[in-house]
Chains A and B, each alone.
Chain A
Amino acid sequence: MDRLVACQTCGLVQKVGEVPKDSVIKCARCHFQIFHRRLNSRTRTLAFSLAALILYFPSNLYPLVTADYQGQHVQTTVFQGIRALFQHQQYFIACLVFCTSILTPGLKIIGLIFISLTLNWPYWKKTRTWTYKIIRIIDPWNMLEVFLLAICVSMIELGEVAAVHPGRGVLSFAATVVLTLLATLSFDPRLLWDSPAEKRHYE
């Protein structure tokens, strides 16, 4: 039986026939995808956050910035940067950098993996909701990660005339930022309270 839907992009009202599983609806006029619920939300979240978790380690273990002065060269990881800030009595900035670049991405990744893995489990519904709430609270703070590079670079540049360039960890660091972003974007919180029948259809 046909249903009537309006495209959320161009507003065209159109008929939709029976939609088999693993199919998507495309607008007849603008060809954008029409959806009621995001497809594969759980798989997407799990895949992105797993990838982010894997790359979380090299991005924090490898130097983010390499500075060359006159033949010497200094490599700085995120953690060394924070320690340097502490030693310079910049406690506030050091805490901020620690929270935004080590603590919150880690919490977020672990939280998302926890939610998407235990989604079909009938217990711990409240815990999952709480986890999601925390993720939503710390989410905007992740955006500050990009400032970290600027801080590291300016710190080293104060020392001497130097050539500063990204270190080996910068690729995995950028990838972690993008992947955690995608993981939060693809998670549909409605999954948390779906009935078992809905779950089978949407996850």
Chain B
Amino acid sequence: MNEESHGLPKAKIEKSRSSWILWLIPIAAALLCVWYLCRDLIFAGPTVTIYFQNADGLQEQVSLVQYRGVKVGEVESLKLAKDQKSVAVRAQLDFSAANLAREGSVFWIVRPELKLGAVSGLRTIVMGNYVTVQPGDGARTNEFTGAETAPIEPVKALSIELHSVKLDALQPQSPIFFRGVQVGEVLDCRLSEDSREVVTHARIVEEYAPLVRMNSKFWNAGGINFHLGLFSGAKITAESAQTLVSGGIAFATPPNPQDPATNGAVFILNEKSEPAWEKWSPEIPLHFEPSAVTNKNSWPNLSPQ
């Protein structure tokens, strides 16, 4: 032993950590991969295929599926269907939205719409078109036929049928007035089976349903009424600005009201009102639910979205 090394300090010798700890790193990496796979395979919602006549405005991997304004899925791919008559839109729904993929669900594409009297889907001008859904409650399924237009929201309402000689500027969503208050809307207009009349389906919202009696009179309130009298001078009336462009229906109930109208009741839609009808003022109690008056959302199709 060298003499000079005596004064030198002695290095410490410690037990090193065992090397098996190193193998935790690949194990952790594998666990991370397993977690990724789990999330993709187990926690992925169903993939649904929706057949649309026209998928205009949808983009692969970009467009969303929304329900009540919340993203519930993504459009994965757009392909022409085998018969080339429709477009197969494959959409991946979120795990939480799996219940939307049920029989009876109606999917449609929300596009910007500019109609006389109503504007809807304005947001889609900037954010692109999206697919939305009205959930059904049938069995689970992954194939749907898309609707071309938004389905009519199922609202508790009295549905009636109006027969008229011709269609005067009426169109779906035209309003129905009682004393100038909107109480209902037109659902659709079509020719009767024998083509001699125009049949207009309309609905009156539940709270106002008691106003419609079997002897109520309906008349077309669209456009401008122009009346020129020898002594009264010219008289121009219109129900509301909206009816000028989209047409409308008004009705009145006589002072001796009959039984309330039932679903599917048929009325004649007169071309114009008689002065006597507008003076009718029966007392009909209405039962308002407080929420129904203030909550406009219970009646989405009546107000421009």
Contact = CB atoms under 8 A, between A and B. Distances in A.
Contacts of B123: 71
Nearest to B69: A71
A168 B217 CA distance: 64
B22 A47 contact: yes
B12 A70 contact: no
Contacts of B22: 40, 43-44, 47-48
A22 interface: yes
B11 A15 contact: yes
Contacts of B71: 71
Contact of B128 (A27, A31, A44, A72): A72
Contacts of B9: 12, 14-15, 28-29
Nearest to A54: B29
Nearest to B20: A43
Contacts of B61: 74-75
A51 B26 contact: yes
Interface string B35-74: 0100000000000000000000001011110000001001
The A contact surface, by secondary structure, is mixed
A71 B127 contact: yes
A72 B61 CA distance: 9
B11 A70 contact: no
Chain B interface size band reads 35 or more
Interface stretch (A55-63, A81-89, A145-153): A55-63
Contact of B11 (A25, A39, A168, A172): A25
B29 A55 contact: yes
A50 interface: yes
Contact of A57 (B11, B33, B128): B33
Interchain residue pairs A-B with the least CB separation, the first 9: A71-B127, A51-B29, A28-B9, A70-B127, A47-B22, A50-B26, A51-B26, A54-B29, A26-B12
Given A23-B16, A58-B32, 5 more contacts: A23-B13, A25-B12, A39-B16, A54-B26, A71-B127
Interface of B: 1-2, 5, 8-16, 18-19, 22-23, 25-26, 28-30, 32-33, 36, 59, 61-64, 71, 74, 123, 126-128, 130
Interface of A: 2, 4-5, 7, 12-17, 19-20, 22-29, 31, 34, 39-40, 43-44, 47-48, 50-52, 54-55, 57-58, 62, 69-75, 168, 171-172, 175, 179
